[in-house]
Amino acid sequence: MNNLKLYSDPSLNLELKSTGEVVSFSALDIERNRLFFASSNNFIYTTQLPSSQNEKIWGKTFSHSEVEPIDLEPGDFITAFDYLMEKEALVVGTSSGLLLLHNVDDNATEVVGRVEGGVKCISPSPDGDLLGIITGFGQIIVMNHDWDVLYENALGDLPEDVDLSEPTFSSCYISWRGDGKYFVTLGELDSSSSSHKKLKVWERDTGELHAASESKAFMGTVLEWMPSGAKIASVEKVENKCPSIVFFERNGLERSSFSINELTDAKVEILKWNCNSDLLAAVVRSETYDSIKIWFFSNNHWYLKQEIRYLREDGVKFAWHPTKSLQLICWTLGGHVTVNSFVWVTAVMENSTALVIDESKILATPLSLSLMPPPMYLFNLKFSSAVRDIAFYTKNSKNLLAAFLSDGCLCVAELPPLDTWEELEGKELSVEASSSETTFGLFLHLIWLDAHILLGVSRFGFSHSNYFSRTASSKDMPHGYYLQEIELSCSEDHVPSLGTCTGWHARIANQIPLEGLVIGIAPNPTKNCSAFVQFDGGKVFEYISNLGITGEAPKTEDMSLSSSCPWMSVVPVSDSVSLRPLLFGLDDNGRLHVGGNIICNNCGSFSFYSNSADLAITHLILGTKQDLLFVLDIGDVLDGKLEVQYEKFVHAGNKRREEDKNFINIWERGAKVIGVLHGDEAAVILQTARGNLECIYPRKLVLASIMNALVQGRFRDGLLMVRRHRIDFNVIVDHCGWQAFLQSAAEFVRQVNNLSYITEFVCSIKNENITETLYKNYISLPCPREAQDVQAGDFKGSFTNNKVSSVLMSIRRALEEQVSESPARELCILTTLARSDPPALEEALERVKIIREMELSGSDDPHRKSYPSAEEALKHLLWLSDSEAVYQASLGLYDLHLAAIVALNSQRDPKEFLPFLQELERMPVHLMRYKIDVRLHRHESALKHIVSAGDAYYADCLNLMKENPQLFPLGLQLITDPSKRKEVIEAWGDHFNNEECFEDAATTYLCCSSLEKALKAYRACGNWRGVMTVAGLLKLGKEEIMQLTHDLCEELQALGKPGEAAKIALEYCGDVKSGIELLVTARDWEEALRVAFMHKSDDLISEVKNASLECSSLLIGEYEEGLEKVGKYLARYLAVRQRRLLLAAKLQSEDQSVNDLDDDTASEASSSFSGMSAYTTGCPYLQHAYLVLEDLVVETRKGSAASISSSTASKGRGTRRQRNRGKIRAGSPGEEMALVEHLKGMSLTSGAKHELKSLLVSLVMLGKEEIAKKLQRTGEAFQLSQMAAVKLAEDTIPNNIIDEHAHTLEHYVHKLRSEQLHSDAFVWQYKVLLSS
C-alpha cells in the first residue's frame, strides 16, 4: 500500500548545434556521473548528472555541455550508442557498419571494426566482458574486449524474396539477463507485411539458440529482460485491441500479460525495468500525446503508479539509472533532459485510511474497519486520467481529498464521515475536475493547509510541464518553481452522508517564485494555515497563509535537517503545556533525522502512533533495514535517550534474554511499516514484499493504550483490551498503584457490568507489581509516585499491606453495593473470598452454610431465587480452591454436617473421613473443638477449648503447652489454680533450659521457687553473681560455698574470663596471689597493681612489674611485625589493582564490538580474560608483590597483630573473624577486595585499645616511662599505617588510574597524622608520652 511520488525533477536543455538536429541516443557513465547524448548530426553532448555541486546548472533554460563531433563520411550517421566502462569510452555504431571507440576525455576516435549491413543495435553484457551487435542483415555478432568475434548467428530465417544485397532488418534489439548467461533478441524485417515474430533466447558461452517463443504479433522490437532474470517483457498488439505487455520465461513460454488501457492506436516504443526489477516503465505514444507510464506489480496485480505526459513533437525517451532504482532520466528530441527522482510513500493516511493509486483510480480502504490487502478495496474514486499525486485532509469529521492528474487537472472530493464508509462498499465515485481560470503547472508537492486551502509546489516552462501550459496566462509565466496557495470553494450543497465530487472551483490566492529545488512540504499540525517547506540540502522554512515564507523555520534546532529528506513528516508532540511541531525526515541513506539530530542510521520505514485525546504523537514506530521493529516513546526521542537504550537500532547478534529484548523481529524480509491504527486499536500495519498486509499489536503500544484508557477512567475499555491481547489483568490494578485502585473499585464494577469478566479479573490478581516485573521494559508509568502512595483509608486492617486481599475486598463491597442479587453475583463474591490471600474459605463456607439453611428451611421466600443452590456454590468453591483446604476450613467451623458435604463433593472416600467425623460427633463440644483445632494446628484455640473442657484434661493441656511453648503466656492467663500455675511455670523454665536460654530459665525457676534448678541455670551461663545469690537463698554452708567458689574460678578461666575469676578469688577465697595472677592474665594491669599495693607485698608488685614488661616487649614486636605486613599487603593490593586496570584498558582498546559475537564466542572470550593471571610484568608494584605472595597466603591464616596481642579472648575473636573471612586466593576475581578486607581486619579493637592504655599507665607507675613511650610510638605507627593503607585502598577502588606519586603509604600516613592523631581513634594515647 504505497504510492510512487515524484519529489524532484531537475532539468536542463542541451544547446544543440544546428536547426533540425535532434537527440537520438543516450549513454551513462555511473563511475563519473556523466550523461552522454548522440545527435542526428553526429555530435556527442556530455553533461554531469545533478548533484549538490552542480545543482545551479540544472534548471537553467540552456546549460553548458561539452560538445564533440564524430567525423563520419557524408551520408553516414550514428545508429547505435553505448558506454563501455571497461574501456572508459563510448562505442558507436553507424549506418555504414563502422564500429568506433570514442574517448571523450581525449576527444579521440578509433575505428575498431566494420560490419556489413550497418549496425542496428549495440548491447554490452552486464559484466562488460562481451559486446552484442546486430547488423542490418540480421546477424548477431558477439565480441570480447579485444574486438575478437566469438561467434556469429543469424537473427532469423529470411523469406526467399528478400534482396540479400541490401540491409533487411529495420529494427532489432538485444537484452541480456542480469547475470549475463543468456540474452534475448527480437528483430523486424523492412519488407515483411506480417507482424508475427519470434522471441529468441541465446546462450552466452556457445551462442547456441536456447529457446524460442511462438510466433506472435509483437509490436516492433520492444524487449527487456528483467535484471533479476525472472521475466522477459515485450509488447503484443492484437488487431482492434489495446496493446498488452506480455511476459515470457527463459524457455520462451508466455507466463502472463496485462493491458496498458490505452486506445487501440497507441504504440509502445520503449520498455525498461529499473535495477531492482520492481518497476516497469514504457513510452506510450498515442494520437494526442506521448507518455511515460510506470507500473508496479504486487499481489498478482499491475498498478499504474505514474504517468508523465509529453507533447507528441517532443518524442520523449528515457532510461533508468543503473544503480538508483527510483531515478528515471528522460530526454526529448529537442535536447530537454529531466532527471525524475521518485520515492515510495505510504498510501495509509493519518486516520488509517489507505488510498492506493492505480492508474485513474484511487482505491480506498479504511483499515480501521477492515484489513483488506490490495488489490481489494472498499470503494474507489474514478478520475478522468491517471492520478499523479494526492493530498488527504481529515479533521473534525471532514474528509477531503485532492488529486493531481496526469492531464494537469486538479480534482477535489469531500468524502462522507468514516463511520459511514461501509455503505460505500463496492461503489465507484466519479470525481470531476475542479474549474479554474488558470492552469496550475506541474505539481510536485501538494498538501492541505485547512479545509478550503491547498498548498502546492508547481513547475512551469519545462517540456512535460508544457503539456499543461496551454493558456495565455501560463505561457507568460517564467520558467521555474512556484509555491502556490489555492483556495477552494464548492457550488454544491454538501450532504453529510454522501460525498461531494463535483462543483469545485479552484483559485490561486498566492503564488511565490522559488529559487531552489523543493524536496518536500508538510503541514504544521499545531498552527492553522501553516506549513514547512524543505529545500534541497535540508533547509526548512515556514510558510504562513497570506504571509508567505516568513523565514527559516528552525527557530529551535527541532526543525532542522542536515541533508535532503524525501520523506518528511511534521507531527504534534506535547511538552506538558502545549503542543509543538516536531520534524522527522528520512533521507536516501536510511538516516532518520529528528530535532536536528540523527537518531537512526539504518531506518527503512517509520510511522507515528497516538493514544492522546489531543492527537499528540506518543510513539514513533521505526522499522530498520535489518527487519527489526522498534516502538519508541516520543519522550525518549525528545530527551535523546535512544542510542544506549536501543543499541543504535542494530541487532547485536548474540542471544538475548526475552525480557531484555526491546525490538520485534519482522518475520519476512523487506516488510515495511505502512501505517498504524491509533487509539485503543494500538496496531502496526506492515506490508510484505509480496504485497500482503500484516497487522501486529506490539506489546508496548498495547500497554500504552491500556494505560491511557485506565488513566482516563475507561475501565471497561481497558479490561476489554486486556482480554483481547491476553495482557495480565494486574495491569488494571498496578497502573497507578493498587492503593489508588481501591478508591476506583466501585466505578470499575459499575463500568464493566459483566460478572464473567469480573470473575476472570478476580482470579488473576496476585501479590506482584507487574509494572515493575513483567512489563518493566514496556511501561512508563502515567501516574506520579505520589499517586501510587495513596493510602486506602477505608480499607485499614489486616489487609492494609496485602494487595490481593485489599483489592478483592473492595471488589466484593462494590458487588454487594452496586450489583443486584443474583446467583452469578453470589458466585462472583465466593470467587473474591476464595482468591484472597490467604483464602477466606471460612467466610465463603459461612455463605454456603446460609444458603444450605435456606434450602433446608423449605420456605418459598422469593429472596431464595437470588442465590445459587448450596451444591452449586460449594462446587464452585471447590473448583477455585484446594479441596483439602476447603475441607479443613469446614472443620474449622465445627459444622460436621457441612464438613461431610464438602468431603463428599470433593470426591473423598467415605472410609477416610466418615469414622473421624462420627468420632468427633460423639465427643463433648469442647473436646470436639479441641481435637479439630489440634488437627488444624490452631493451637491457641485448642488451648482455650481444652482448658474449658475441665480439670480432667489438665495433662493434655500441659502437654499441649510443652509441645507448643508459645502457648505458655496464654496458659498462665487461662489457668487460675496456684499449684497448676507453678507446674506450668516450671515446665516453661524447663523449656528455656532445653533451649539453652539459661538466664531466662533461671529467672523462670525463681518465679516458681525452684532454687536448685535456678542455681544450675545460672552456673550454666557463667553468671557467678547469680550463682552466689541463689546459694545465699539456699543458705549453703561455708565449706559448700568455698567449694562452689573454687569450681566457679576454674569454670570462668576455662570460659576465657580471668578477670571475673580474679574477683571471686579475691572476694570469696581470699587468695591474693591467685587473684593477682588472674588479673595479669586478664591484662588488667591497673587493678593488679592496686591489689598488690593494697596488700603491700613486694613479691606481688615484682610479679606484676615483670609481667607488664614482658607484655610490652611482646606488643612492640608484634606492632613492628604488623607494620611490615601492612606494607606488604598494600603493595600486593596496588600491584593487582594496577594490573587489572591495564588489562581492562587493553580490552577496551581492542574491543571489536563484542555485540557481534555469538554467545559461544563471547563466553570463550570472557572465560579466557577472567582466567588471565594478574601477576605478569608491566606494573611497577609487581616486583615487590612477587616477593610477598607466598608469605601473604600463609599470613592470611593468622589473626591481626592487635588481636593477637590483646588477650586470650581477643585471640579467639581474631581467629573466628579470620576464619569467616577465608583465604585470599591469588589471582581470584575477589583478591583485591579480600586484601582490603584483610587490611581493615588488622585495625586495633576497642578491647585492645583499652588494654594498651592500661598497660601504658601501669608502666609509668612502675617507673618504666621510656618503655611506655616506645610502646606508644610503635602502637601509633602501626595504627596510622593500617588506617592509611585502608584509606588508600578505598580511594583507589572507584578510580581507573593509580598515581604512583600520590597513592603511596607514606603520603597517606603523613596526611592522617595531621588529621586523625587527636581524634577518638587515638584516645588510648597519653599526651605526656608523646614528648620525645
Q: What is the pLDDT of residue 1196?
A: 37
Quote the CA–CA distance of 1243 and 1321 in Å, as a whole number.
10
Q: What is the pLDDT of residue 373?
A: 79
Beta-bridge partners for 111: 100
Higher-pLDDT residue of 159, 181: 181
DSSP output for 706-717: HHHHHHTT-HHH
Under the banding of pLDDT at 50, 70 and 90, the label for residue 1163 is very low
Under the banding of pLDDT at 50, 70 and 90, the label for residue 402 is very high
* Cβ pair 81, 72 in contact under 8 A: no
Q: What is the pLDDT of residue 1223?
A: 63
Dihedral (CA of 1108, 1112, 1118, 1122) sign:
positive
Kindly report, residue by residue over 1272-1296, the tens digit of the pLDDT.
Answer: 888 888 888 888 888 888 888 877 7
Range of 453-457, 632-636, 907-911 with top mean pLDDT:
453-457
User: Of 688-692, 883-887, 1175-1179, which range is least confident?
Assistant: 1175-1179
* Cβ pair 763, 756 in contact under 8 A: no
* Cβ pair 577, 587 in contact under 8 A: no
Distance from the Cα of residue 546 to its chain's centroid:
45
Q: What is the pLDDT of residue 160?
A: 52
- Mean pLDDT within 1148-1165: 46
Q: What is the pLDDT of residue 616?
A: 87
- Mean pLDDT within 544-572: 72
* Cβ pair 168, 191 in contact under 8 A: yes
Q: What is the pLDDT of residue 1166?
A: 36
Q: What is the pLDDT of residue 1202?
A: 33
Quote the CA–CA distance of 1210 and 1208 in Å, as a whole number.
5
Over its C-alpha atoms, the chain yields an Rg (Å, rounded) of 49
Q: Is the pLDDT of residue 1175 over 60?
A: no
Kindly report, residue by residue over 1089-1123, the tens digit of the pLDDT.
Answer: 788 788 777 888 888 788 888 888 888 888 888 88
Query: Cell 588479673 belongs to which residue?
Result: 1079
- HEC per residue, 383-426: CCCCEEEEEEEEECCEEEEEEEECCCCEEEEEECCHHHHHHHCC
Under the banding of pLDDT at 50, 70 and 90, the label for residue 723 is very high
User: Of 130-144, 403-417, 730-744, 1130-1144, which range is least confident?
Assistant: 1130-1144
- pTM (predicted TM-score): 0.73
Q: What is the pLDDT of residue 725?
A: 94
Per-position b or e across 92-126, b if 16+ CB within 10 A of its CB: bbbbbbbbbbbebeeeebeebbebebbbbbbbbbb
Kindly report, residue by residue over 45-77, the tens digit of the pLDDT.
Answer: 999 887 655 555 565 544 567 888 888 888 889
Cα-based angle 471, 477, 482 (whole degrees, multiple of 5): 115
Under the banding of pLDDT at 50, 70 and 90, the label for residue 785 is very low
Neighbours of 414 (CB within 10 A): 21
- Mean pLDDT within 1048-1060: 80
Amino acid in the structure at residue 918: Q
CA dist 592 to 297, 673, 1121, Å? Answer: 28, 14, 67
Under the banding of pLDDT at 50, 70 and 90, the label for residue 644 is low
Q: What is the mean pLDDT of the chain?
A: 82
Higher-pLDDT residue of 864, 513: 513
Kindly report, residue by residue over 973-1019, the tens digit of the pLDDT.
Answer: 988 888 888 988 889 989 998 988 888 988 888 888 888 888 888 88
- Mean pLDDT within 1075-1079: 80
Percentage of the chain lying above the pLDDT 90 cut: 31
- Mean pLDDT within 743-771: 93
* Cβ pair 295, 386 in contact under 8 A: no
* Cβ pair 450, 528 in contact under 8 A: yes
Under the banding of pLDDT at 50, 70 and 90, the label for residue 1156 is very low
Quote the CA–CA distance of 684 and 663 in Å, as a whole number.
13
**Among candidates 254, 221, 39, which has minimal Cα distance to 138?**
221
Kindly report, residue by residue over 833-881, the tens digit of the pLDDT.
Answer: 999 999 999 999 999 998 888 888 876 677 778 889 889 999 999 999 9
Kindly report, residue by residue over 23-34, the tens digit of the pLDDT.
Answer: 999 999 988 889
Q: Is the pLDDT of residue 775 over 80?
A: yes
Q: What is the pLDDT of residue 157?
A: 66
H or E element that contains 1220:
helix 1208-1221
Kindly report, residue by residue over 181-211, the tens digit of the pLDDT.
Answer: 999 998 776 555 556 888 999 999 999 999 9
Q: Is 464 helix (H, G, I), strand (E, B) or coil?
A: helix
- Mean pLDDT within 529-537: 88
Quote the CA–CA distance of 141 and 299 in Å, as a whole number.
40
Residue 1157: all three cell numbers together: 559475537
H or E element that contains 1094:
helix 1085-1094
Residue 626: all three cell numbers together: 535489518
**Among candidates 401, 426, 433, 403, which has minimal Cα distance to 416?**
401
**Among candidates 250, 251, 240, 248, which has minimal Cα distance to 271?**
248
Distance from the Cα of residue 346 to its chain's centroid:
24
Kindly report, residue by residue over 931-949, the tens digit of the pLDDT.
Answer: 999 999 999 999 999 898 8
Kindly report, residue by residue over 209-236, the tens digit of the pLDDT.
Answer: 999 999 888 888 889 999 998 899 999 9
Q: What is the pLDDT of residue 404?
A: 93
Q: What is the pLDDT of residue 165?
A: 53
Higher-pLDDT residue of 8, 644: 8
Under the banding of pLDDT at 50, 70 and 90, the label for residue 468 is low
Q: What is the pLDDT of residue 683?
A: 92
